[in-house]
Structure 1
Amino acid sequence: MTASYKHLFQRAIAAAPERLHFAAHSHHLWPDASYLGQLAAWEDGVRLADRKWERVMGEIWPAAQGHVAAELGLPDPSTVVFAPNSHELLLRIVSALPRRPLRILATDGEFHSFRRQSVRWEEAGTVTVERVPLNRIVERACSGDHDLVFVSQVQFGTGHVFEQVAELAALARPEGPWVVIDGYHGFMAMETDLSAVADRVFYLAGGYKYAMAGEGCAFLHAPPGFGSRPEITGWYAEFDDLSLPPGRVGYAPDARRFLGATFDPSGIYRFVAVRDMLRQEGLRTADIAAHAAELRDALLARLPIEAELLNPGSPARFVALRSPHAAAWKAALEAQDVIVDVRGDVLRIGFGLYQDARDLEGLIWTLERL
């Protein structure tokens, strides 16, 4: 019998008690700890006023860096930097590569944010982009024809997992190519150990999905020696380098070189509060993934709809079901307050810590009546 962790999500469940939320891969429900983190951010803001930044950058920020480093096996937490969203960090990475037009290699299944931005760059003539299927990305990267290689750890549409990070990392050099792993569907969805490649790859993710912390807490692991002077930069990246000539822009020697300007720190507070809660509960990513896998396997064993499963055996925290009826199914489920999502003709059903066996029975009962 699947365990229940609903006691950690009482506020979110009470807000919509009849809802069956199976879109943890899209918008994960927030645990009660995130509420406490949000309150702490507000209270620090009014209690400390201008001096709140001493606490943010001196205590909350390092705590968040430590949590990310521990989760990913990073040897040095100072390689982690935060931003309001991963798009900002993508822009700064690309701005740090001097070549124009920049030659980018990516898969044909990347997130909307990267897809839209890369197409616009192509329109402007500032980049050229080669898009290939996931199973060809390493082969094409070996050609040496690209300055930057961008690939998702888990493909957001199909749930396919990229398992050749080490092969790409072996190609990375400070002078190029750079390797960027988009880990948004991998971070805290599955165990991820970057210890062997931390000196070679960038890793992007954030708190919106499986980290359960909501918006405003994207992060980047930036390997030392890669991108010392991003062109898109804010005053938080300033560093008093006494060796610089007068008037030259300085940068922090660690991942803070990718910082922008003033930001809302509440997302980082929420992330730290959630991670602290998980530690207190003795819940690791492996435990959460096992809980989700039990729900996923139980659904697939009794799936009452005819659809093509795109990610059999995948550790992704959602199942991807292809059918011409996907959009109609999603609408019919939503009409009954059962929340899933659709990407084209793919119905995605995601699993999280806030679901239990009773929720699964409700989902199956509703699917049977589509």
Structure 2
Amino acid sequence: SFLIACLFAKVTCGDFLLNIRIVQIHRKKKRLELPNCIEDIVLEHVSVPKDTLLVVNGGCRNVAIIFSKGSFDLSKVKQLRKFKLLITGQSSINIEFLDLTNVASLEISYDGNKEYFMFLLLNCINVKEVILYNTVCELHDWIGRDTSTIPEKEMAPWELNELRAMINQESCTSRCRSPHVCFKDFSARCNPIFCWEKRKNIQNLSIIAFQISGKCLEQLRKFVSLKTLSIMAQNIQKDIFYCLPFSLVNCSLMPIQCNAILERDVVESVQTVFGVVSSKRRHLKNLKLHYLFFVKIARSMSLPEEVDVLEIMPSAKHPDCNLLIPKKIKVRKLVIMQVNREIWVKICKTWEIEEYYSQLLNLLSQYIDFCSVKEIKILNQDVEISVDPRDYN
């Protein structure tokens, strides 16, 4: 017999979802096979003993291995659709694969995982959604709910005949990743993604904690089918929108959440040249930017001419942005996003809340054509506030 702690599963349309968190697996036999009825598997903080092989059933479609150790056999899986592999630098892991040609969604980390990182990029030839981490910070939840490979479902306790569930009080310790690990160049580490097959197939791409160089941007332009691009980086090129593919519909540019973002680094001495035509992105509809990134790009005259929805992540401080630009971006809907608790506390220490948002909108009016804005929403601690755009025309 063996024990699996914190086992949860749910029957949905005859299928099981298995979610294993912070567990220790023990069995006398060398092979530990998961039940055939499970299609979606999440193995999080699973430690498999050295003398044991954890075998995933052949009917499985979606597999996530997160901060786990040991040997995992996926060679029975013939129709793998989604695969997620996040590993810390200290992890020791061995995975056996059979067929990766059907993988449509891939989420992997580079740190401590170079071998599998390159292998998966090379062999998942038909992938359409790719999420690439240089490294992962558990403490600040870089993973995020919107990047989860396995769809979130309401979990309910379930006891299978083959398994005996038992609560385990063991907890994992998380630490903040140091800033220096974020300086690996994306184009150098992720070269397999730039082959022709990948460039024509990938529709959704997320790049997290890599250094985005000018060479990288030149390569990104060649992704002819790309619809959604999300970049989380310490800094960005101010002319990034000149380099993005014309097929792009959704774009998100955010700073790394656990690194101190210095305003002088983000909004660094940009040479403003009046008369430069804003970048045209006919298909770009939704744009999400951190406020400091927005200011940096706006000052370089490289904002798109028009977007349908613009989401701005506020900063704790407003840099001095008294700069008029000849052509402002047109926006139908402006959304001020909700900040995390740490930023919220800093804001409350310095500002009255109404004053803070009023000042923020006044500063944004230097770069946004408020005559084009039909709707303004402020997300403030789970409360949605509507603002009349005419107050800032």
TM-score by length of 1: 0.22
More helix per residue: 1
Structure ID, larger Rg:
2
More strand per residue: 2
TM-score by length of 2: 0.21
